[in-house]
Structure 1
């Protein structure tokens, strides 16, 4: 009897430890199912874009040096900073923790290429980008199918629409912060929407990990990690739930700030000095009317390629090269395209105003609009920031279709409009990509 009483606590401790391991295993499996394909249709979507983007990126990596050239730190195409990002992760005031992420990526690429920054090195970088963007499209498809519960045909249509955006096409082979921000934001939005739909809170671990990863790559995006929290069910009816939410946000901020300060050896004065310099540098360009930069660069260029301009560039060390940037639209058709798309998006917002998940998407979108359109940060190159918000378009279109599910006539009309936009998008962007290859053949072969 005494022996049994002594062994009971050991047995209970074993059960407790086993329960913790089992719980961790369940959460890990759930994360894998959330991130990667978990059904036949999801696997087909992922493989389709992985192979499509993979072919594009492989061809560019093996035949051209534009993805990574040791002599060109920035601005070879569309103002991306490929080499600078791969080697340093970018400036600490905007990308505080991305150095660590790109450090291991560079190490792996150099290991595969036997220490050379050659075609194999570029190929590895391109495939990292390819996988990240293909997973981003998959997250959008999962959201449409599992959160909004759209029919398979509609989900595929909107996923294809998103996959043909200029942002997704270019980022699919571009080693940049935006590439991985796109993946992390689509993943987090899918996860937070799932939690809201199931009336669950976002765990402190998920919030802290997301805040460090998303905010670490681009500091302003950490705000988006907190946007879903105010929409958790019953938050304002219980002081306990409100306190718990506050604690989760505080823990995330503390972890992020400590890692950030450690990155710069706690010399926090540099943050304010550098941030002020960056704002002055990227917010005082007046070569194009404000309304046209908003329409052609911020809203338009991230989705629909405009015509290109070739500029003379140099690396400040004597090496001269050619850079490619986007111009404003030269035809009235793209303006109509963007206007029609924005009307559908905002129509969806007002139609689904009471939907918490729609509010999360729109507030996130308005945050980027405020930074780039009102504060004008980087608006003259607004077409490079799409990785922060373009996924909102197909998701809000999905909610629009869902809201008219009981009105066949309206639903068919919206489907027709989206199909027409898709056809024009495909024709325009494929044609513009042929011009991009002309540029590569001429200067980067």
Structure 2
């Protein structure tokens, strides 16, 4: 009976963590699932861009929709997503009676909508329960974040990044709860996080271990340090064994494929590096730039049109991004001794190193927003919190974020109308 009660308690805690629990959380979830759901419904039923048998990659913004849905993506970057997307694909096929038709596309879109909406709930819970912001500020930040280009696009896109966004926001919220209670992250949740997050994108597994470095007295108590080392080791062993099993233990393929992928995605020189960093890495996942249309071929004789993001073409978007970055790094400096903020920024720095310093995929860095874009609203939240006793600065921050939100909303609305023009021209 005690065991059953414990299991029941664990399940209750899990669902309380993952699902809307209060009226305000339910309101946020309902708003986003309706808003994003209508968008996904319209695109899935009226256009074939979400999934087209003839187009494995790059139809819009370099996403690999068909390739990801059918195979999970390349094993060297997405080692375990093959198994995950088998379930996604089979559920969609079951609902569409085995056909890759409009119903199939709608099922894929709605699963993406659900994941992004639940991601919004996780961000909202963090702002409300971990940072303890007033509801007005919390709603302002979450609606600001909900207008970012990344959640808009991922809300109807069946991709690794869509599910990674949800898993990373969920894990960061869970880790913050444990950190706030000064508790360690147990072994089983750590393994599940490592396998799921690292399995979808291998580099993200490092982020799972970041909160462990901030557990209480971990570097002062050898017993606690040893326990943490054991948990990390067990997580890595489980992940590595599953990874090797995925490739039939032909580990030499990992190195050859990884090197070829790095060479392929890190040597693009058509745009200045500083502009790619601002327009693509820091900008494109938040504020849509203008779009460009390219002629593509599926390598099997089928030509199609692809939509890609361009760099910013006026000074206003650069100013927007620079102001937002100033707010983010202001928050980091102001809260430098705050372990919650350090956890977020260290995770963010991992992506900065990979894409901006190592230049991996920098020319299409806007597609990687699901790995880190949630850091922006959380750091904004901590900035508001740090000035809770300074009404004038709070007013300044509120006005600033409100102005940024209005500009973001107008810009992204206009760009989405251009996106629909592209759909009407080539994907009806």
1:39 to 2:22 alignment: yes
2: CA distance between counterparts of 1:200 and 1:115? 47
2: CA distance between counterparts of 1:27 and 1:346? 37
Question: 2:6 is matched with which residue?
Answer: 23
Deviations 1:300-351 (A, max 9, x none): 0000000000000010000000000000000100000000000000000010
Q: Quote the offset at 1:20 in angstroms.
A: 2.2
1:229 to 2:220 alignment: no
1:404 to 2:366 alignment: no
Q: Quote the offset at 1:25 in angstroms.
A: 1.4
Question: 2:327 is matched with which residue?
Answer: 344
3-state SS of 1:227 partner: helix
Question: 2:200 is matched with which residue?
Answer: 217
Among candidates 225, 231, 235, match of residue 252 of structure 1: 235
Runs of 5+ unmatched residues, structure 2: none
3-state SS of 1:23 partner: helix
Among candidates 389, 402, 417, match of residue 400 of structure 2: 417
1:154 to 2:148 alignment: no
5 Å-filtered alignment, 1:2-13, equals none
Question: 2:376 is matched with which residue?
Answer: 393
Question: Runs ≥4 in structure 1, deviation > 2 angstroms?
Answer: none
1: CA distance between counterparts of 2:257 and 2:328? 36
Q: CA RMSD in A?
A: 0.5
2: CA distance between counterparts of 1:20 and 1:272? 45
5 Å-filtered alignment, 1:357-372, equals 357-372=340-355
Question: 1:292 is matched with which residue?
Answer: 275
**The structure with more radius of gyration:** 1
1:125 to 2:100 alignment: no
Deviations 1:77-124 (A, max 9, x none): 000000000000000000000001100111111111011100000000
Among candidates 288, 308, 312, match of residue 325 of structure 1: 308
Q: Quote the offset at 1:238 in angstroms.
A: 1.4
2: CA distance between counterparts of 1:231 and 1:31? 23
1:69 to 2:69 alignment: no
Q: Quote the offset at 1:235 in angstroms.
A: 1.2
1:170 to 2:153 alignment: yes
Question: 1:6 is matched with which residue?
Answer: none
Q: Quote the offset at 1:22 in angstroms.
A: 1.5
1: CA distance between counterparts of 2:223 and 2:341? 26
2: CA distance between counterparts of 1:354 and 1:25? 37
Question: 1:374 is matched with which residue?
Answer: 357
3-state SS of 2:133 partner: coil
3-state SS of 1:228 partner: helix
Question: 1:5 is matched with which residue?
Answer: none
Question: 2:70 is matched with which residue?
Answer: 87
3-state SS of 2:219 partner: helix
Question: 1:432 is matched with which residue?
Answer: 415
2: CA distance between counterparts of 1:341 and 1:109? 38
1: CA distance between counterparts of 2:403 and 2:2? 53
Deviations 1:46-89 (A, max 9, x none): 01000000000000000000000000000000000000000000
3-state SS of 2:53 partner: coil
Among candidates 226, 235, 239, match of residue 243 of structure 1: 226
Q: Quote the offset at 1:372 in angstroms.
A: 0.1
1:265 to 2:265 alignment: no
Q: Quote the offset at 1:21 in angstroms.
A: 2.0
2: CA distance between counterparts of 1:366 and 1:92? 24
Q: How many residues align?
A: 428
Runs of 5+ unmatched residues, structure 1: 1-17
1:51 to 2:34 alignment: yes
Q: Quote the offset at 1:234 in angstroms.
A: 1.6
Among candidates 159, 164, 185, match of residue 181 of structure 1: 164
2: CA distance between counterparts of 1:19 and 1:360? 36
TM-score, normalization by structure 2: 1.00
TM-score, normalization by structure 1: 0.96
